[in-house]
Amino acid sequence: MKVSDVMSLIDARNLTPDVALDRDVTCGYVCDLLSWVMAHGEEGMAWVTVQTHLNVVAVAALAEMACVILPEGIVMEQESLDKATSEGMCVLSSNLTAYEICGRIAAQGIPAHA
């Protein structure tokens, strides 16, 4: 499943229009504690979080995740979005809750670990 497939699955909009949506999503995760995510983040991960500051992008990029997903219509500040774009990290925003987002992605067979 590609990031573009996840985007339509969870009715999300792409906050980083200059980033390609062709990365493979191989696993999913939801957590707002960044140091916890650093310990458990994996390559190809779709990561759901309500955090929007710059360090979110750094964590996602360093762990080589597929995308960051913000639930409940949360918008990321422009500074973070600019950094995400320069890092090639896609940031999606969906009006669904984190629970609903994970439920929809998991129902498509995307596991917790790749």
Partner 1 sequence: MEELFRIAYPVASADYTSAGQASTDIKRRLKQLGVGGDVLRRVAVASYEVELNLVIHSLGGELVLSVFPDAVQLVSTDVGPGIPDLSMAMREGYSTANEEARSLGFGAGMGLPNMKRNADEFDIQSQVGTGTTITMRFKLPT
**Nearest in space to 46 (alpha carbons), one of 29, 32, 21:** 29
Q: What angle do CA 59, 64, 65 make, to 5 degrees?
A: 80
Please say which residue, 8 or 35, places its beta carbon nearer to partner 1: 35
CB of 69 closer than 8 Å to CB of 37:
no
CB of 31 to partner 1, least distance (A): 9
CB of 83 to partner 1, least distance (A): 9
Please say which residue, 5 or 87, places its beta carbon nearer to partner 1: 87
Name the 3-class secondary structure at 43.
coil
CB of 11 to partner 1, least distance (A): 26
**Nearest in space to 62 (alpha carbons), one of 79, 37, 82, 30:** 37
What is the contact surface with partner 1 in residues (CB under 8 A)?
32-39, 41, 43, 51, 53-55, 57-59, 61-64, 87
CB of 62 to partner 1, least distance (A): 4
* Dist CA 55 CA 23 (whole Å): 21
Please say which residue, 9 or 45, places its beta carbon nearer to partner 1: 45
Please say which residue, 7 or 70, places its beta carbon nearer to partner 1: 70
